[in-house]
Structures are given as structure tokens and as C-alpha cells.
């Protein structure tokens, strides 16, 4: 973590601005949360600390800044997933708590949360969660609470926790089939096609879709 919490916040916003294709300082300083914590002087100080590069109206992350931003974004978005899906907090509380979480979680705790949640690729807003060391290797000492549906065996039942899809069309389609967070599905067969049982209905689902459905296994 950088010595300055405000720096971390600003680095995160530089990161998320980049996700929407902007590196403009003018645009960055217009964001309320940034304006509260930082001004041009803060950005210059961050430059002399080696966290950002400034050229005209453009601000970009240095390698060091990138490392800090990636960690903070990862902790923030994992916290959002945890608070939304597992703890089911009301939306207002989520942002507040996700923000304080990201400054206190160690990388190790973040990796444990990531593992428990089945290494979710996105936050509840559909934004990518940067991968951690845990996403590359499997751990035997931690049993995930949430898993991709394709991991379950035939006969297993799971309650849908979230669906990690950015396609509204797909989410709508799944919704009309009753495949929404909260509903219970049973794996009916896995080969040759993946077939689930939802209520009294059997449904064959595309392998791509199966991987986007995250469930809590019911014992």
C-alpha cells in the first residue's frame, strides 16, 4: 500500500478511467471522489513519488503505480462481490464498506476471499477483477463457498449466487428461464450435453453459459 490513502484512491480512478478509454486529468479531477481527495498538486506529488507520469492533460500509471492500482482495484471489487453475494448487504452499505475493506485487506486475505468466491472474473458491476496468485493455482486447504456450475457433479444441487456475464441479452434470456440469483438448480447430466433441472424443467445449457453461472453447493 502507498503511504497515502488518497494516492491509492486516485490510482484506482486512473485505472477505472483507463477502462473507459480516458487518461485526461481534466476528466479525472471532475470525479467527485477524486476532487474530494486530490488536486493538481496531489498529482504532481504522486509523479515525484514515481507513481504516475504526467504529459500535458494526460496522466498514466508507472509500473509502480500500476502495481498499487491493480491491488487496490482487486481488493475493492472482491469486497463488492463478498458483500453483495455472500453477506447480501443493502446496496448503500456496499460501496462504503468496499472502500474501507480495500485499505485493510492484505493480499493474502484478498486471495482467500477470491478462492472462497470461486475466483470471480468480474465485480457485481461487470468490471474485471485483476487476477491474483490464487487464480493460477488450486488450493486444497480452502474449500470454495461459491463455484462455477460446471464444477458440480451429476446429482449435485446448487443455489445460484451470481451470473458473471456482461451480456444483457444473455442475462435476460437466462432470467426468462428462471436462472437468476437465488434459484436452485440440480445437475441432471454433464455429457454429452450439460443438462440442469430447474423446478420441474430440464434445460440443456451451452458450456460457455455454464461457466458464467456461480453457485453455492447445497449439501
Q: What is the nearest approach in angstroms of Zn ion to the Cβ of residue 140?
A: 15
Which one, 36 or 91, has the nearer CB to Zn ion? 91
- Interaction between residue 134 and Zn ion (CB under 5 A): yes
Question: For residue 117, how far is the Cα from the chain centroid?
Answer: 10
- Interaction between residue 81 and Zn ion (CB under 5 A): no
- Interaction between residue 113 and Zn ion (CB under 5 A): no
Q: What is the nearest approach in angstroms of Zn ion to the Cβ of residue 201?
A: 32
- Interaction between residue 191 and Zn ion (CB under 5 A): no
Which of 168, 144, 160 shows the shortest CA–CA distance to 203? Answer: 160
Stretch that binds Zn ion, among 27-35, 73-81, 174-182, 202-210 (CB under 5 A): 73-81
Q: What is the nearest approach in angstroms of Zn ion to the Cβ of residue 92?
A: 14
Stretch that binds Zn ion, among 58-66, 79-87, 180-188, 207-215 (CB under 5 A): 79-87
Q: What is the nearest approach in angstroms of Zn ion to the Cβ of residue 124?
A: 6
Contacts of 39 (CB under 8 A, 6+ apart): 29
Which one, 38 or 113, has the nearer CB to Zn ion? 113
Stretch that binds Zn ion, among 31-39, 132-140, 152-160, 211-219 (CB under 5 A): 132-140
Q: What is the nearest approach in angstroms of Zn ion to the Cβ of residue 81?
A: 8
Stretch that binds Zn ion, among 14-22, 76-84, 141-149, 177-185 (CB under 5 A): 76-84
Which one, 107 or 178, has the nearer CB to Zn ion? 107
- Interaction between residue 114 and Zn ion (CB under 5 A): yes
Q: Hey, what's the cell of 201?
A: 424443467
Which of 13, 28, 20 shows the shortest CA–CA distance to 58? Answer: 28
List contacts with Zn ion (CB under 5 A): 80, 114, 119, 123, 125, 132, 134-135
Amino acid at each position: 500500500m502507498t503511504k497515502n490513502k488518497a494516492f491509492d484512491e486516485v490510482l484506482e480512478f486512473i485505472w477505472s478511467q483507463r477502462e473507459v478509454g480516458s487518461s485526461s486529468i481534466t476528466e479525472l479531477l471532475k470525479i467527485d471522489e477524486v476532487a474530494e481527495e486530490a488536486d493538481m498538486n496531489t498529482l504532481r506529488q504522486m509523479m515525484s513519488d514515481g507513481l504516475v507520469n504526467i504529459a500535458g492533460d494526460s496522466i498514466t500509471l508507472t509500473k509502480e503505480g500500476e502495481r498499487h492500482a491493480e491491488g487496490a482495484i482487486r481488493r475493492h471489487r472482491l469486497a463488492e462481490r463478498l458483500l453483495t453475494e455472500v453477506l447480501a448487504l443493502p446496496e448503500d452499505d456496499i460501496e462504503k464498506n468496499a472502500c474501507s475493506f480495500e485499505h485493510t485487506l492484505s493480499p493474502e486475505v484478498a486471495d482467500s476471499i477470491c478462492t472462497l468466491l470461486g475466483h470471480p472474473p468480474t465485480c457485481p458491476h461487470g468490471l474485471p477483477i485483476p487476477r491474483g496468485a490464487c487464480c493460477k493455482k488450486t488450493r486444497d486447504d480452502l474449500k470454495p463457498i461459491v463455484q462455477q456450475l460446471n464444477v458440480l457433479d451429476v446429482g449435485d444441487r446448487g443455489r445460484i449466487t451470481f451470473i458473471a456475464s456482461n451480456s444483457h441479452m444473455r442475462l435476460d434470456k437466462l432470467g426468462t428461464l428462471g436462472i437468476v440469483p437465488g434459484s436452485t438448480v440440480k445437475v441432471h447430466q454433464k455429457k454429452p450435453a450439460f443438462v440442469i433441472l430447474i423446478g420441474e424443467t430440464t434445460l440443456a445449457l451451452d458450456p460457455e453459459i455454464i461457466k458464467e453461472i456461480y453457485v453455492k453447493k447445497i449439501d
